[in-house]
């Protein structure tokens, strides 16, 4: 077996040690600092993004509260105006009904006049058509 031959074993061990040492220092001084800075940059970016997301959620909540309050105020004002107009309308109707009750005998005479005239027209139409 050639790999266990002492003559070749030392040269393979020597070049392995040199290659490993060079590779170790290259990784330690060139690649690892770039990886560490990249990881630090990522962590800072994640923190800033999470902070922005939290701020945007606060803004969304405040905007939603403003929207809900404005709709509630609009419905409340509309309800108050409608109830106020209903009260005014009811008071006007009550006032007019009380005036009609006071002046009922005038209205009664008017309705009697209308009934008599319509009855006369009915009789006249029936006489003209010879139905009576």
Contacts of 107 (CB under 8 A, 6+ apart): 100
Task: Tell me the pLDDT tens digit for each residue of 1-58.
Answer: 566 667 777 788 888 999 999 999 999 999 999 999 999 999 999 998 888 888 888 8
Answer yes or no: is pLDDT of 93 > 70: yes
Average model confidence (pLDDT) for the chain?
82
d(CA 106, CA 126): 30
Threshold 0.85, pTM exceeds: no
Q: What pLDDT shows up at residue 39?
A: 92
Answer yes or no: is pLDDT of 132 > 60: no
């Amino acid at each position: 077996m050639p790999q266990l031959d002492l003559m070749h074993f030392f040269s393979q061990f020597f070049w392995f040690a040199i290659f490993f040492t060079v590779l170790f220092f290259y990784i330690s001084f060139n690649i690892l600092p770039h990886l560490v800075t990249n990881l630090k940059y990522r962590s800072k970016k994640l923190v800033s993004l999470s902070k922005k997301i939290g701020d945007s959620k606060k803004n969304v909540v405040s905007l939603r509260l403003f929207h809900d309050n404005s709709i509630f105020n609009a419905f409340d004002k509309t309800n108050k105006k409608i109830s106020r107009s209903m009260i005014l309308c009811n008071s006007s109707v009550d006032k007019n009904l009380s005036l009609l009750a006071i002046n009922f005998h005038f209205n009664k005479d008017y309705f009697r006049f209308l009934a008599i005239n319509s009855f006369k027209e009915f009789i006249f139409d029936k006489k003209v058509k010879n139905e009576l």
